[in-house]
Amino acid sequence: MREKSGWTAHVGFTHPSSLSAEKGTERPSPGALWTRVTVRGRTCHSSRGPISGAVSVWQWPGSGYVSIVSDPNHLLILTHREAAALLRAIEAGEPTTSASLDLGLSTVDLEVSPSGAVIGGSAIGILALKKIAKDDRKCFEIVDGEPVPISVFSETTNWVRTLCPTSGAPTTLVAGFPMHRVKGTDPIADTKQKIRALGRARGRVLDTATGLGYTAIELAKAAIQVVTVELDPAAIDIARRNPWSRGLFERPNIRIVTGDVFEAVDEFADSHFDAVLHDPPTLALAGELYSGEFYRKLHRVLRHGGKLFHYIGDPDSAVGASTTRGVMRRLGDAGFREIKRQPRAFGVSAIA
Ligand SMILES: C[S@@+](CC[C@H](N)C(=O)[O-])C[C@H]1O[C@@H](n2cnc3c(N)ncnc32)[C@H](O)[C@@H]1O
């Protein structure tokens, strides 16, 4: 028996004790990824096909339902780069080759043969590897030897969101727009520039737009608490599948709030935060997050003397330059002072 509600699918079993998977304690969050699990020799199926691999399990109190969420630490991911390297190893007739299955965080030795490679106990054929090698805009999860793009259509925002490889950590494409700078840099270097422009934030920090969680993770290294807000549950779904986003779910001082930050910020008391990192999507996707009304809200929740960094975009582009001028004017009108351009971080900083 199976049902789908919002972003989370639930698989019902006759009795939870039939599970051979270890029981977890964490309630699966919206957008959790489904894969295959063996329940006392029986294979269960999800909305995305058979489910397998390491999982966390949540029993819904008082119901016959058990939710199984694959363990994101055990996803097997290939990009065009690894697929091309595997194809070269096959071509060269090598019996094994090393490759990364977690987007460059670690490497493993894989068996290769003239017909393909063995990944997670399943063979992935040459045609599938060629398909991955041709697509440099997607990361592929390997499920039972088949490549499945890490990409979702969000019913909340109507945006397609795709995990996209770069030379370093992946970015996401949202409605075709990359959510981090990738030209001449990479998403982690981009994130560090934003944090540097904000300055060391040790107390309570608001991160207005979670995305892949890179800014939240970096802020959490020095802050007491980071509240990070994300409008789109699909963003959290993609982050859960991204090995580079693990800290978002593992660091105890990060609180993820799902909702529109324009409204979510109203729940915080005056002067609640010591710093705000505002990293919205482009103006074309999220105009209200560049409005005077929103800046007044940010000013209210920032303590006197607290710092804001606002990412805007390339200050040397015509759009970036005019957006920066408008942002600086509206920040001043909202009560911010010492409003400074931060060209290296593609944004501006200001003091409340
Ligand atoms: C540029 S990305 C943020 C990148 C992120 N800081 C990181 O380090 O990966 C912008 C994010 O803002 C989210 N977003 C858009 N409108 C929003 C809103 N009104 N409230 C909260 N999040 C929003 C988008 O879904 C997207 O994930």
pLDDT at 9: 30
Whether 17 shows a pLDDT value over 60: the answer reads no
Mean pLDDT of the region 343-349: 97
Q: Which atom of ligand 1 is nearest to the CA of 234?
A: 25
Mean pLDDT of the region 229-256: 92
pLDDT at 163: 97
pLDDT at 122: 77
Whether 295 shows a pLDDT value over 50: the answer reads yes
What is the secondary structure of 96-123 as a DSSP string?
EEEE-SSTTS--EEEEEETTEEEETTEE
Nearest CA to ligand 1 atom 3: 211
Closest CA to 223 of 277, 262, 264: 277
Question: How far apart are the CA of 187 and the centre of ligand 1, in A?
Answer: 14
Say which residue, 105 or 69, is predicted with more confidence. Answer: 105
Tens of pLDDT, residue by residue over 257-271, are 989 999 999 999 999
Q: Range with the lowest mean pLDDT among 9-18, 47-56, 288-297?
A: 9-18
Tokens 């966390």 belong to residue: 56
Mean pLDDT of the region 220-228: 97
pLDDT at 20: 37
Verify whether ligand 1 is closer than 6 Å to residue 33 (CB atom): no
pLDDT at 172: 97
For residues 238 and 163, the answer to whether their CB atoms sit within 8 Å is yes
At 233, the pLDDT band (50, 70, 90 cuts) reads: confident
For residues 212 and 242, the answer to whether their CB atoms sit within 8 Å is yes
Mean pLDDT of the region 78-98: 94
Question: How far apart are the CA of 235 and the centre of ligand 1, in A?
Answer: 8
The rounded percent of the chain whose pLDDT value lies above 90 is 64
Whether 216 shows a pLDDT value over 50: the answer reads yes
At 298, the pLDDT band (50, 70, 90 cuts) reads: very high
At 188, the pLDDT band (50, 70, 90 cuts) reads: very high
Mean pLDDT of the region 280-287: 92
Out of 242, 261, 278, give the residue to mutate to test ligand 1, the one with the largest number of ligand atoms within 8 Å of its CB: 261
Mean pLDDT of the region 251-257: 95
User: Under CATH, what is the fold of the domain 178-351?
Assistant: Rossmann fold (3.40.50)
Q: Is 21 helix (H, G, I), strand (E, B) or coil?
A: coil
Compute the mean pLDDT over every residue in the chain, rounded to the nearest whole number: 82
For residues 219 and 207, the answer to whether their CB atoms sit within 8 Å is yes
pLDDT at 200: 84
pLDDT at 64: 39
Q: Where are the domains of the chain?
A: 3-70, 77-148, 178-351
Closest CA to 228 of 199, 244, 251, 196: 251
Q: How large is the C-alpha radius of gyration of the chain?
A: 22
